[in-house]
Amino acid sequence: MIKIVVCLKMVPGKLIDAERSGLIINPYDLFVLEKLAKLKKNTDISVIGICMGGESAREGLVRSKALVCDDIYWLNDIKFAQADTIATTKTLSAAIKKYIPDADAVICGGHAIDGETGQVPAELSEKLGITYFSSVADIESFGHDSAVIVKKDEGHEMTVRCRYPFLLSVDSFLTYASNLNIIALKRAQKWEYKIISSEELGIAQTDCGAAGSKTKVINSVNIIYKKESIEVGGSIKEKADHVKKLLQQ
Where are the chain's structural domains? 2-218
Q: How do residues 18-73 score in pLDDT, each as one tens digit?
A: 778 899 999 999 999 999 999 999 999 999 999 999 999 999 999 999 999 999 99
- The 10 Å Cβ neighbour count of residue 86 is 18
Cite the beta strand spans of 61-113 per DSSP E.
Answer: 71-75, 105-109
pLDDT computed for residue 154 by the predictor: 83
- The 10 Å Cβ neighbour count of residue 116 is 9
Amino acid at 27: P
Q: How do residues 188-244 score in pLDDT, each as one tens digit?
A: 999 999 999 999 999 999 999 999 999 887 887 766 666 677 788 889 988 888 888
* Choices 1.10.760.10, 3.40.50.620, 3.10.20.340, 3.40.50.720: CATH for 2-218: 3.40.50.620
